[in-house]
Structure 1
Amino acid sequence: MVTGLSLEASGNSSLGTMNVTCEPLMEPYALKIFIKIYSVMLLVLGLLLNGLALWVFCRRMPQWTETRVYMTNLAMSDFLLLCSLPFMLSFVKDTQDTLRCQLSQTVYMVNRYMSISLIMAISVDRYVAVRHPLHALRLRSPKRAVAICLVLWVLVVGSILLRLYLGQQEGGFCFRSYSRHNFSSTTFSLLGFYLPLAVLVFCSLQVVTALAQRPTAETGQAQATRKATRMIWANLIVFIVCFLPLHVVLTMQVAMRPSSCEARKVFSFALSITSQLSNANCCLDAICYYYMAKEFKDASTRPSTHRSQDSQSLTSPKIALPDSLDM
């Protein structure tokens, strides 16, 4: 949340060094209360939902599938992001790059962009299963899903650490550092969103088109197709609503490169609001686990003695629709 700050901001290096004192930014009291209540509710609800999801994925499901691997990693990423949220809020008043602030923001950003990357991976997995079912038998497997998740973790952690290094070179990395004189390191965040967004849109449209072209003579098949289509559209809309506003603000910040205190305070306020919106994705993902994933629903509601046969039927390669489309 935005708080009043006062510090010296570095000007553009080509214009020489200039000292600008940033006056405290006063935000409406009602907005402060709203953000606090929103953050507490999001934290409590998100930890409960994602904690339940991790318990079901790790303890109640007898067989690992591609979807289960991706969803377990997604639940873990959302859970870790929420765990870092209290530290992020406690250091949001910091105007300098303290070690604690850097660590909290690094964990927060790693898990944000890991969630985005995993949602992209799930969409690609769906696309391969529906559009290329013959190749899916060779390309899709739990071991390959584990390998893909490991690669994504390495890439995301590496890119955030590189952004940390470049941000320090530019004068700051932490949440409320007004001393940065360049925002080129932010391009890592933009690439980490716009590339997955393009992949997600492409794969979603391809899958929806493929489902619409399938013959649906049986009532059950028609209902399953409609449910899968609605789920894909819902996932895409949630992704765009949660993450696009934040990255539009970041894009404008990179394009404009604000140097004045007033401009930096405006962007700081906008980033604060849009970041809160992006955090809501952690809870929405967890809701999708239960209402949209058939395997999750079966495992969390049925006795363990009756799960094995059901899971086998859900994860059979002959039935590509449920496992590849449930999120």
Structure 2
Amino acid sequence: MEPRNRSVTQFMAVTSSMVIPATTENDTNCVNIMKERNNTLELFLFIFLIPVLVFGVIFNSLAIWVFCFKMKKWTETRVYMMNLLLSDCCLLFTLPFRIYLTRHSINLGQKFCTALLSFYFMNTYIGIATVTLISVDRYVAIKFPLRARSFRSAKKAAIACAIVWLLFIATRIYLDILAAPPVRNSSLCFRKANNKPLKRTLYFAILGFCVPMLILVYCTTQIILTLKRKEKINAQEEKDIQKTINIVTTNMAIFLFCFMPLAFGNIVRFIVESMEMKCSVVKTVSDFALFAQGLSDLNCCLDSVCYYFVAKEFWEKVSLFPKSKKHLMQDQTQESSI
């Protein structure tokens, strides 16, 4: 019996030694597949992100000039626009590195890569939160016009923005320092180079996008319904109300266009990674998420549409010529409708 037991033990040892390397080999092969560059996608991102960087710098430089040097009074609009502008500057800081990494491989270092990702996601999720706050502020002003004065103020808007920043910074500190952050390939800083699911990706997609999206869609819908039910005194007021409806609809469309594909891609990637699907499938979904990530960067340019629609005084300050009394009276009427 003893020789038989010894032979069984030897067989199990040999079998286990054969299985472990096979698993390791499969993991290694999958990591290698995930690291492979999609030349078509990265060429697209290279061509796409350069004009985003150029126009983003131009538009945001103009915004800095107007909001910081031309405006004197702090309003809710100015506070939210400054917050949105600050989040856009975080993205613009990371774009040169993203553009360079689409064509080259360079070791940025683990700490610097983590810092870049923190700045990058500041734009994504603080931008989403700010647009949501603007939508809620507009909803309160239109749905409850009499009580809006007690609800809305520049100070309260600043407090709301400060809370958003503190929550995000605290979350990043916890994830990047206290919660054993995942080891990243510093030469692939903005790409996920493995097929292991990250719960933080799912949490950010749901809490960082899906919940704000529901709030924004609800506020926008209620604004449109409220304005459509409002009695129109004259043709000018009807025109102003329709313009306001177009404003809130456009802002919601920009929000969904920029951020919905990214959230969808991250959720699907988490699902296929959790189900341990073939590495080729995970790679395809990961490439789509990378494409959606590039598409979301367009928000730093499209935010200028928000500047135009929401901050009417913004373009009054840009204008080099004084407006006629007729135009000033029309602007006051439109402002009251918004």
TM-score interval (norm. to shorter): 0.7 to 0.9
Range with bigger deviation, 146-155 or 73-82: 73-82
The RMSD of aligned alpha carbons is 3.1
The residue that corresponds to 1:84 in the other structure is: 94
One of 193, 198, 202 as aligned partner of 1:178: 193
Determine whether 1:20 maps to 2:32. Answer: no
The residue that corresponds to 1:60 in the other structure is: 70
Which one-letter code corresponds to 1:266 in the other structure? Answer: T
Determine whether 1:149 maps to 2:167. Answer: no
The residue that corresponds to 1:7 in the other structure is: none
The residue that corresponds to 1:227 in the other structure is: 243
Q: After TM superposition, give the deviation of residue 133 of structure 1 in Å.
A: 1.7
Q: After TM superposition, give the deviation of residue 94 of structure 1 in Å.
A: 6.7
Distance in 2 (alpha carbons) for counterparts of 1:323 and 1:239: 25
Structure 1 residue runs of 5 or longer lacking an equivalent are 1-15
Number of matched residues?
A: 302
Q: Do the aligned partners of residues 292 and 131 (structure 1) sit closer, same or farther apart at CA in structure 2, a change above 3 Å counting? A: closer
What do the CA deviations read for 1:174-198 (whole angstroms, capped 9, x no partner)? 5324246331111332111111101
Give the fraction of aligned pairs with identical amino acids, expressed as a percent. Answer: 31
TM-score of the superposed pair, with normalisation by structure 1: 0.82
The answer to whether the 8 Å contact 1:56/1:299 transfers is yes
Q: Do the aligned partners of residues 324 and 103 (structure 1) sit closer, same or farther apart at CA in structure 2, a change above 3 Å counting? A: farther
TM-score of the superposed pair, with normalisation by structure 2: 0.79
Q: Do the aligned partners of residues 323 and 255 (structure 1) sit closer, same or farther apart at CA in structure 2, a change above 3 Å counting? A: farther
The residue that corresponds to 1:8 in the other structure is: none
Q: Do the aligned partners of residues 58 and 181 (structure 1) sit closer, same or farther apart at CA in structure 2, a change above 3 Å counting? A: same
Which one-letter code corresponds to 1:252 in the other structure? Answer: V
One of 310, 322, 327 as aligned partner of 2:335: 322
Determine whether 1:237 maps to 2:253. Answer: yes
The answer to whether the 8 Å contact 1:127/1:206 transfers is yes
Q: Do the aligned partners of residues 268 and 255 (structure 1) sit closer, same or farther apart at CA in structure 2, a change above 3 Å counting? A: closer
Question: More helix per residue: 1 or 2?
Answer: 2
Which one-letter code corresponds to 1:139 in the other structure? Answer: F
Structure 2 residue runs of 5 or longer lacking an equivalent are 1-22
Q: Do the aligned partners of residues 302 and 97 (structure 1) sit closer, same or farther apart at CA in structure 2, a change above 3 Å counting? A: same
Q: Do the aligned partners of residues 111 and 45 (structure 1) sit closer, same or farther apart at CA in structure 2, a change above 3 Å counting? A: same
Distance in 2 (alpha carbons) for counterparts of 1:161 and 1:117: 19
What do the CA deviations read for 1:109-139 (whole angstroms, capped 9, x no partner)? 0121110000000000001111112221111
The answer to whether the 8 Å contact 1:129/1:324 transfers is no
The residue that corresponds to 1:103 in the other structure is: 115
- Residues 114-263 of structure 1: matches in 2 within 5 Å? 114-165=126-177, 168-172=180-184, 174-179=189-194, 181-190=196-205, 191-257=207-273, 259=276, 261-263=279-281
Distance in 1 (alpha carbons) for counterparts of 2:245 and 2:173: 38
Deviating 4+ runs (over 4 angstroms)? 91-97, 165-174, 302-306
